[in-house]
Amino acid sequence: MSGDTIVDEVRRAREREAAKHAFDVKAILSAARKRQRRSRHRVVSFVRKNQKLSA
């Protein structure tokens, strides 16, 4: 692996999560969205390029 323990841990977690959903990208994203909805943490939403930011 990379030699960096944190990078290695993240890669293992990503591999486990992908394997849990049979490496199906749509299933992985669907599960992530469900976790976000259940979470009480704020989820970042990016503003479209053509929208102005309110100051």
pLDDT 10s digits, 28-52: 999 998 998 899 888 777 777 666 6
Q: Sorting pLDDT into bands at 50, 70 and 90, what band is 55?
A: low
- How many other C-beta atoms can be found within 10 angstroms of the C-beta atom of residue 12? 11
- Region 12-19: mean pLDDT is 96
Q: Per-domain residue ranges for the chain?
A: 5-38
The pTM assigned to this predicted structure is 0.62
- Please answer whether residues 33 and 39 qualify as being in contact, where contact means their C-beta atoms are separated by less than 8 angstroms: no
Higher pLDDT, 40 or 19: 19
5: helix, strand or coil:
helix
Q: How far apart are CA 55 and CA 40, in angstroms?
A: 26
- Please answer whether residues 44 and 50 qualify as being in contact, where contact means their C-beta atoms are separated by less than 8 angstroms: no
